[in-house]
Amino acid sequence: MSGSTWDEAAQLAGYADAATACRGVKNYFGALPVVERDDLRDLWRQRMELLWRYAARDAEIGKPGALRAGTAIAQRAAAMDGLDAPTQVLVNSDNAELARMVDLLLVAQGGAAIEASIWDDDVLDADVIEG
């Protein structure tokens, strides 16, 4: 749960090897522990923060590869938190298909179907509003 390997856990608890430690935990608790997604995300945030500090230090002294390492760390952190999610979604469909999709969504939400004729050939300009 703390991010240690089974080998490290075995050594701490006095087991002979990782497999024995794993079996001991499973026998005692009835199942292996499952790390919650948020806990795992926090663990990786801490690890990336440490790696970021090393990469920044190395970049300051001009160590080769430090900028590349820092960029890779920043990309992983952004991906983990969804910061690099696309900001624009392009829908490649014709007007009739889009109208059918809107009708289905409205009916599924309990609304009435709308006339497909309201869709013209102009590009739809819309913003996504998170609620």
pLDDT value, residue 57: 95
pLDDT at 114: 53
Contact 66, 87 (CB under 8 A): no
Nearest by Cα to 10 from 21, 25, 1: 21
Burial 122-131 (b: 16+ CB within 10 A, else e): eeeeeeeeee
Number of neighbours of residue 110 by Cβ within 10 angstroms: 6
pTM higher than 0.75 for the full model? no
Give pLDDT tens digits along the chain (131 positions): 566 788 888 888 888 898 998 888 888 888 887 778 888 888 889 999 999 999 999 999 999 999 999 999 999 988 888 887 777 767 677 778 878 888 888 888 776 655 545 555 555 566 666 65
Gap between the Cα atoms of 89 and 83, Å rounded: 15
